[in-house]
Amino acid sequence: MESQPTSTPPLRHARWVRSSHWIITISFLLLAFSGFVILMCHPRLYWGEVGNDLTPALFELPVSRNYQHGGWENQTPFFATAGSPVSASRSYDIFNQNGWGRSLHFLSAWFLVITGVVYLVAGLFTGHFKNRLWPQSGEFSPRLFWRDVVAHLRMNMFTAQANYNPLQKAAYLGVIFVLMPVIVLTGLTMSPAITAAYPFLLKMFFGAQSARTIHFFASVFLELFLLVHVAMVIRSGFKQHMRAMTIGK
Amino acid sequence: MKNRTLITRRKALVAGLTSLGALMLPGCSKPVPPTYGNILRMGDAFTYAAQRTLLPGQSLVKEYRYGDISSFPATGTTNPADTSSPQFNEDYSRHLKNAFADWGLSVEGLVSHPGKYSLAALQKFPARKQITRHTCEEGWTAIAEWTGVPLSTVLQGAGISQNARFVSFYSYDGWVDCIDMLDAFHPQTILAYGMNGRDLPVPHGAPVRLRVETQIGYKSMKYIERIMVTDTFVDVGDTGWAWYVGI
């Protein structure tokens, strides 16, 4: 059913939605920033349990002077066999701001995780997920999705509505129930104390370095979501959306 | 009618804050790592408290197969005997020339018989071999086989006091750091003198390095010279790095 712009109920958000939205926004921006600083220290990504400057990378990102740095002394093999793993000493002063970078990352992560858990519990019990985010029957049909995609591309459905369209619902559900859990769990998989207690995490994400790589891609997807989200907010009535998400009217 | 059992937001908040305060009160009398009024250190302290509260006591980290041993970069101080290095140490240089023959690891503080352990004496203790993953704060990982003596064996041999709370390590390259008793008595926390079946190489901390497998790499200090057992936190000032890095 197509709703008429004139008859749509005004956009409102509950207080807990508004406060968790902004706490998570600030935490996410700090996490993205500190995460980038941490990545700059070692801009190489791997698959499996092991990855370092002496082993091959999946890919390297040219984001700091540590990119493809060659500051290594002669390699010494550990074993007498051919193709033995080696040791080499670093002779190069790398970029490393992880002292504050890591601590800021984890501090922000606490705010994100605690607020996220409160949000999930509230969303479940207030019916927020069921009423506003969960697709109505038949709403996620390919035909309706396609119509929604076309409408977005033509940019002709940009009026702020209380009812989310299928693409919007899919995006929010993907962020809340896929990307966020994945990024939190892969983050925990990089922790030695946590994987000692819960070794299934290493199995689930194929190793510590795979978890780091998945963590990176999840963050890229979340940043893309943020860009699209902000663009949509601007296109479909910035003032109205900001009022709805701040003072709630 | 007034409903007395109704939990208002205000009541919930007051109750929550009161119980939080009650949780923090005993913390004040304990010798805990300082936060220096730094919000980042407060976050680290929260992570420490959360992990110690929520995680089961002494789970073992994953141990790997021999074939999983990987290449292993040596970073930080890689040779304290190098005169051109700012971490140059004359004593270390002398011991290295002497193949650590008269080197000794000093164990002091809250132990009933403090003393020095030669390399041979450490090797006489029942050894533990473990193939584990080193996780560097920089983001890389490497797997190696470590041979050494569990720190708990040495501490118990030296007669560690009931009041002990922290074990501090002093290294030849000038680094000082400490761990709590849970990590000190973790079965995989060892004083390693062997790596991948050979003597521990100089770039990796010869003659003896610490392995704290439940924390990030920088807690596994190299070139250990002295161990000090204390009942209070040995404060070396804010290094800019988190003290507890189980995460």
φ/ψ bin of A155: left (φ > 0), alpha (ψ from -120 to 50), beta (otherwise): left
Cβ contact, residue pair A52, B74, below 8 Å: no
How many Å lie between the alpha carbon of A172 and the closest alpha carbon of chain B?
Answer: 28
How many Å lie between the alpha carbon of B144 and the closest alpha carbon of chain A?
Answer: 10
What the block records as the tokens of A208 is 């510590």
Q: Is residue B3 part of a domain?
A: no
pLDDT of A237 reads 87
How many Å lie between the alpha carbon of A131 and the closest alpha carbon of chain B?
Answer: 24
Cβ of B189 under 8 Å from any chain A Cβ? no
Its domain, for residue A179, covers 109-246
Q: Is residue B50 part of a domain?
A: no
Its domain, for residue B188, covers 60-230
Q: Is residue A20 part of a domain?
A: no
Q: Is residue A196 part of a domain?
A: yes
Q: Which residues 10-49 of A are in CB contact (within 8 Å) with B? A: 38-39, 41-42, 44, 49
- A112-131 pLDDT, tens per residue? 999 999 999 999 999 999 99
Distance CA A52, CA A77 (A): 15
Q: Is residue B1 part of a domain?
A: no
Per-residue pLDDT of chain B (247 residues; tens, 9 = 90+): 445 556 666 666 566 555 555 555 444 445 788 999 999 999 999 999 999 999 998 899 999 999 999 999 999 999 999 999 999 999 999 999 999 999 999 999 999 999 999 999 999 999 999 999 999 999 999 999 999 999 999 999 999 999 999 999 999 999 999 999 999 999 999 999 999 999 999 999 999 999 999 999 999 999 999 999 999 999 989 999 999 999 9
Split into its structural domains, chain B has a count of 1
Measure Cα distances from B30 to B55, B120, B187 in Å. Answer: 21, 38, 25
From the list A85, A90, A199, the residue facing B75 with the nearest CB is A90
Q: Is residue B137 part of a domain?
A: yes
Q: Is residue B243 part of a domain?
A: no
Q: Is residue A193 part of a domain?
A: yes
Q: Is residue A205 part of a domain?
A: yes
State mean pLDDT over A26-53: 98
Q: Is residue B159 part of a domain?
A: yes
Provide the pLDDT confidence category of residue A4 given band limits of 50, 70 and 90: very low
Q: Is residue B34 part of a domain?
A: no
Q: Which residues 150-179 of B are in CB contact (within 8 Å) with A? A: none
pLDDT of A160 reads 58
Q: What is the percent of chain A with per-residue pLDDT over 70, rounded to a whole number?
A: 93
Cβ of A167 under 8 Å from any chain B Cβ? no
- A73-109 pLDDT, tens per residue? 999 999 999 999 999 999 999 999 999 999 999 999 9
Which chain B residues contact residue A106 at CB under 8 A?
43-44, 47, 242, 247
Q: Is residue B33 part of a domain?
A: no
What the block records as the tokens of A49 is 């349990």
pLDDT of A155 reads 73
What the block records as the tokens of A141 is 């049909």
The order of strands in the sheet holding A86-89 is A76-77, A86-89, B72-74
pLDDT of A233 reads 92
Distance CA B55, CA B68 (A): 27
Cβ of B61 under 8 Å from any chain A Cβ? yes
Which chain B residues contact residue A96 at CB under 8 A?
138
Split into its structural domains, chain A has a count of 1
Q: Is the pLDDT of residue A243 over 80?
A: yes
Q: Is residue A235 part of a domain?
A: yes
Least Cα distance to B200 among B176, B219, B223, B184 occurs for B223
CATH number at residue B103: 3.90.420.10
State mean pLDDT over A24-35: 98
pLDDT of A7 reads 44
Distance CA A221, CA B58 (A): 36
Question: Could you write out the three-class secondary structure of chain B?
Answer: CCCCCCCCHHHHHHHHHHHHHHHHHHHHHCCCCCCCCCHHHHHHHHHHHHHHHHCCCCCCCCCCCHHHCCCEEECCCCCCCCCCCCCCCHHHHHHHHCCCCCCEEEEEECECCCEEEEHHHHHHCCCEEEEEEEECCCCCEEEEEEEEEEHHHHHHHCCECCCCCEEEEEECCCCEEEEEHHHHCCCCCEEEEEECCEECCHHHCCCCEEECCCCCHHHCCCCEEEEEEECCCCCCCCCCCCCCCCC
